[in-house]
Amino acid sequence: MNRSFLAPLAALLLPFLLSADLQANQPNFIIIFTDDQGYGDLSSFGSETIKTPNIDRLAVEGRKFTSFMVASPVCTPSRAALLTGCYPKRVGMHQHVLFPASTKGLHPKEHTIADHLKQQGYATACFGKWHLGHHPDVLPTANGFDTYFGIPYSNDMNHPDNKGKPQGGFAGMDILWNDPKSTLTKWRTPLYEDTEIIELPVDQRTVTRRYTQKAIDFVAANKDKPFFVYLPHSMPHIPLYVPDEVRDPDPKNAYINTIEHIDSEVGRLLDTLDKLQLANNTYVVYTTDNGPWLQFRHHGGSAGPLREGKGTTFEGGQRVPCLVRGPGIPAGTVCAELAGTIDLLPTIASITGKPLPRKRQIDGMDISGLWTGQTKDSPRNEFIHYTSRGEIEGIRQGDWKLLMKKPRNRNNANAGQVKPTQIYLFNLAEDLGEQSNLADQHPEIVERLRIRMLEVDAEIAENARTPWFSN
């Protein structure tokens, strides 16, 4: 064959061959993101009632993070933060949660984890709860994911008006648990595939298993190329459901039953990685979107040693369990350094070697050194606390945490009364449960943290981007 012909042909093919080689060496990423799971709801985080041997494998074979934060104590803003690496206010997704009647969503121009990896040739998929807008223009397929299968908002929301929900707090949840078929009779929650509703109502008894099976099938189909699976489970957010064959009939065991079912499904996914010989090249992150919904008692979880839960800026609302396993991560180790879900995007970008867009400011930091244990100290020394409604309320710097809680008047009778702001100062190194308010003893620390809190919030507000709104 003519060598003069081969030379230009080789030059033409070389970029494609190099690209294929790079793809083959790129690690895979799986993020398992449960809903409303408390800090104390895994055996590896101290639970004595819930057995989670499969999830605990990630602690045995990887690294446990004990000071891991979410950017909001409720669903929508927390999820926006994970995917974009931003405090929710920066991307306009900070004002509580979206509902079936909501007209906004995460702007497709935002740069998500899925966007970043897709640009590098990754196959990307989201299986589970989205809650960043149910309109076709803002579903996962518009935000970097090749495919989507799941419930677009919380599983206690009816399509399309969210009316007619069962009432009665935990007692009402008991009634639902006693009637597993209530998922088909009491709720009109939709299941989407890509941009279309394929099941209405969805049988919620099966969603945890079906999300996992979709993830397993996707991993198997893309085993020869790099992939990213975002697996945001709809549960243990209420109402709780599990498959009939594994259901404990006692409502008081509903939450335990649900977490242990999630655990068994995590086990199936991990076994798949083992079977396909992908475990050594796959990062698996297990965490949750906020703390437990305590008011639902045995249908809600436990914050363990932490104060309060979902909806609050106390540690129980925003400090969550996190386990990471993957290449270079030392097995059976613990990291107590400050980190959070907003750090996942820049960390993944660092691992894959592709820089993030310079023009799109984020708040996350590269904590890949913490993942591998190569760095002792976190690059993150501070963390900003926003309420579930998106109002600035606190800041943590090092071990010091300041909360400035403005009272909310819930009835007109007190409308004329101005209640003072409650100021809390905690030393988390000495008082993880936030029981000893040191504000009066250290006014200088209160003032320093207050100024810094407002400074950071002002910068975010000034540079905040607009979310997507429907016409």
Catalytic positions, please? Answer: 75, 131
Per-position DSSP letters for 213-242, written without gaps between them? HHHHHHHHHTTTS-EEEEEE--TTSSSP--
Residues 6+ away with beta carbon under 8 Å from 143? 83, 106, 108, 110, 112, 114, 115, 132
Nearest to 321 by CA among 358, 274, 363, 266: 266
**What distance in Å separates the CA atoms of residue 241 and residue 183, rounded to the nearest whole number?**
8
Q: What is the dihedral of CA 308, 309, 312, 317, to 10 degrees?
A: 120
Would you say 177 and 240 are in contact if contact means Cβ atoms under 8 Å apart?
A: yes
Q: What angle do CA 142, 96, 423 make, to 5 degrees?
A: 140
Place of tokens 């060496």: 25
Place of tokens 């707090």: 169
Please count the residues of the chain. Answer: 471
Would you say 291 and 313 are in contact if contact means Cβ atoms under 8 Å apart?
A: no
**What distance in Å separates the CA atoms of residue 451 and residue 75, rounded to the nearest whole number?**
28
**What distance in Å separates the CA atoms of residue 141 and residue 369, rounded to the nearest whole number?**
31
Nearest to 299 by CA among 209, 170, 402, 181: 170
Helix or strand holding residue 116 (H, E): helix 113-118
**What distance in Å separates the CA atoms of residue 338 and residue 359, rounded to the nearest whole number?**
26
Residue ranges of the alpha helices (H) in 222-360?
254-275, 315-318, 344-352
Residues 6+ away with beta carbon under 8 Å from 331? 60, 61, 62
At 427, give phi and psi (nearest 5°).
-100, 100
**What distance in Å separates the CA atoms of residue 63 and residue 129, rounded to the nearest whole number?**
26
Structure tokens, 1:
């064959």
Distances (CA, A) of 330 to 154, 175, 284: 35, 45, 13
Structure tokens, 419:
């209640």
DSSP lists the bridge partners of residue 324 as 63, 285
Residue 224 burial (10 A CB sphere; 0-12, 13-18, 19+)? exposed
